Amino acid sequence: MASVGYLWKNRAKFHVWGIDFYRAWAKRILTFQEVVERNSRRTKLIRSGAVIDETSEIGVIKTDGNKGNLVIEANSILGRVELALHDQIKIGKNVCINDGVKLLSGSHNINDPVWGLIKKPIFIDDYVWIATNAIILPGVSIGKGAVIGAGAVVSRNVEPFSIMVGNPAKPLSKKRDAILKYNPCKFLAGNRAWLVG
């Protein structure tokens, strides 16, 4: 949603003399810097080779490696996240990745005398929520609708709609609802100011 052009085209419109018009524009002015900063971060990553949909939100992230390895689909949001882009990291639609999360597509082989680099891609399917301070290790695929709990360390593939917690991450017996229809980017104040008013 952070694309200024997208927000302008899809803005909520109100009658000029109504209170909603002035309320909406006050919110838009107050949150405009936030919208511009997220736009700037996305544009910078795209210019470095990343593929990021115009409706996705980029927080203050740290990236190491080839930015061309990053793909983010529509309506996904990344907070203060660390990405080790030694191999591809693909993030699907409507994904929410909270602050402190680390996605590590590279590590070292402890059985190699020269401690060689191991690179494996990370795939995150649609509607995944990765909570604060979780760590996703190389080669992990996270299925649609899965939840990764705060502080979890994920070293193996995650089944769709499962809830993983702990270190090492293990599934809870309950699963997440399979009918998901939300857009996490719409919860941001800057976007709501434009789309809702």
CB-based burial of residue 55 (10 Å sphere; 0-12 exposed, 13-18 middle, 19+ buried)? buried
Write down the domain spans for the chain.
4-195
- Top pLDDT among 174 and 69 is at 69
What proportion of the chain, given as a percentage, has pLDDT over 70?
Answer: 99
Whole-angstrom distance, CA of residue 141 vs CA of residue 29: 40
Q: What is the pLDDT of residue 11?
A: 82
> Residue 155 carries which side chain, given as an amino acid letter?
S
Beta bridge partners of residue 51, listed in sequence order: 71
For 157, other C-beta atoms within 10 Å of its C-beta total 12
Whole-angstrom distance, CA of residue 107 vs CA of residue 18: 57
Q: Which of 90, 100, 105 is nearest to 56 (CA)?
A: 90
For 109, other C-beta atoms within 10 Å of its C-beta total 11
| Average pLDDT taken over every residue of the chain | 90
How does pLDDT run across 106-136, given as a tens digit for each residue? 988 888 888 888 899 999 999 999 999 999 9
Across the chain, how many H-helices and E-strands are there? 3, 19
93: tokens are: 């639609």
pTM score of the predicted model: 0.87
> Domain 4-195 is of which CATH architecture?
3 Solenoid (2.160)
Whole-angstrom distance, CA of residue 101 vs CA of residue 41: 18
CB-based burial of residue 38 (10 Å sphere; 0-12 exposed, 13-18 middle, 19+ buried)? buried
- Per-residue pLDDT averaged across 85-112, rounded? 94
- Per-residue pLDDT averaged across 45-58, rounded? 92
Given a cut of 90, is residue 182 above it in pLDDT?
Answer: no
How does pLDDT run across 9-44, given as a tens digit for each residue? 888 888 888 898 888 888 888 888 888 888 888 889
Helix (H, G, I), strand (E, B) or coil at 45: helix
Q: What is the pLDDT of residue 2?
A: 60
**Do 111 and 125 form a contact (C-beta atoms < 8 A)?**
no
